[in-house]
Amino acid sequence: MNFYIRTMKLIDGKAVSEAIKNQITDSVNQFTARGNRAPHLAAILVGNDGGSLTYVGHKVKACEQVGFKSTLLHFDDNITEEFLLNEVENLNNNNEIDGFIVQLPLPKHINADKVLLAVKPEKDVDGFHPVNVGKLTLGLPTFVSATPLGITKLLEHYNIETSGKNVVVIGRSNIVGRPASILLSNQSKTGNATVTVCHSKTQNLKEQTLRADIIIAALGKPEFLTGEMVKEGAVVIDVGTTRVADTSKKSGFSLKGDVKFDEVAPKCSYITPVPGGVGPMTVVSLLLNTLQAAQNRGN
């Protein structure tokens, strides 16, 4: 009988994001030393959704940490679509703002697509505008959606080879699954993979995941990916962050990933935890995009 012990490595998104934040701080210092004003990120938040308040709070705090200026525009959820579009236009025309985001979800009476389309592509540091998505598809320099960008930064940091590998992305949303699949299949350092995109209509998902060298789980279903769906030595990136009731927590909830960690981790070569994996990288990627927007301004 052959026994071997696999050494599973936990991908530490928190540590990697802190290291990148230090690099951003250095870049900001050099940028301002040349007489430029500090990069400035604005965020529009509509309503009081708990998750959105937390995410925007993290983004504002991260801006402070690296020496960016930040502005939060927080509106009631009864504002009209017209009012919001007007605010977007003001930010488009404000030369003191390098980039801005509109935190999703928006209230149902506001057409999110219309709002995201109104953001000037040069200031779209979330990378959601069709112009930026189009550039990503063509492999041109652009603002890449923060979560997929963060995933590639993690792969790069841990020297995880993607070229020629089979990657299975579970989820095809415009903000995670779809751009992640494009990035990993593009001709680039963290691309050149053979990518399969799975979704709710995929049949025999397990057949797909069992072939995967790298699995990106981004479907928002807690503990969906189980041990029997993963081959030995796979790399598993867990994007899921679902709030589930947890009376042992002061907040009353805990964050659950899309991966059944206890079962899957022992089979992996690398795996991200939730929290502390992809989440911190999303915030730092937004900072990278904002720094890029400021450098593009180059004043």
Active site residues: 59, 103, 126
Taking each continuous run of H as one helix and of E as one strand, the counts in the chain are 10, 11
φ, ψ dihedrals at 295, nearest 5°? -65, -35
Q: Which parts of the chain are beta strand (E)?
A: 9-10, 40-46, 69-75, 99-102, 166-170, 194-198, 214-217, 235-238, 242-245, 253-256, 270-271
Our finding on whether 170 is near ligand NAP (CB under 6 A) is yes
Our finding on whether 172 is near ligand NAP (CB under 6 A) is yes
| Interacting span for ligand NAP (CB under 6 A) from 28-36, 174-182, 225-233, 262-270 | 174-182
Give min distance, CB of 195 to ligand NAP, in A.
14
Give min distance, CB of 295 to ligand NAP, in A.
24
Of 25 and 202, nearer to ligand NAP (C-beta) is: 202
Question: Where in 223-252 is the site for ligand NAP (CB under 6 A)?
Answer: 239-242
Q: Show the DSSP H helices in 158-277 as ranges.
A: 177-185, 205-211, 261-264
Our finding on whether 173 is near ligand NAP (CB under 6 A) is yes
Our finding on whether 171 is near ligand NAP (CB under 6 A) is yes
Our finding on whether 179 is near ligand NAP (CB under 6 A) is no
Are 135 and 142 spatial neighbours (Cβ–Cβ below 8 Å)? yes
- Cα separation values, 224 from 241, 245, 257, 264, Å: 12, 17, 8, 11
Of 89 and 246, nearer to ligand NAP (C-beta) is: 246
Beta-bridged to residue 236, according to DSSP, are 215, 271
Of 80 and 111, nearer to ligand NAP (C-beta) is: 111
- Cα separation values, 161 from 32, 78, 190, 232, 265, Å: 36, 48, 7, 16, 19
The SS3 assignment for 196 reads strand
Give min distance, CB of 185 to ligand NAP, in A.
17
Of 225 and 293, nearer to ligand NAP (C-beta) is: 225
Give min distance, CB of 47 to ligand NAP, in A.
17
Please give the residue ranges that form the binding site for ligand NAP (CB under 6 A): 147, 170-173, 175-177, 198-202, 205, 218-221, 239-242, 278-279, 282
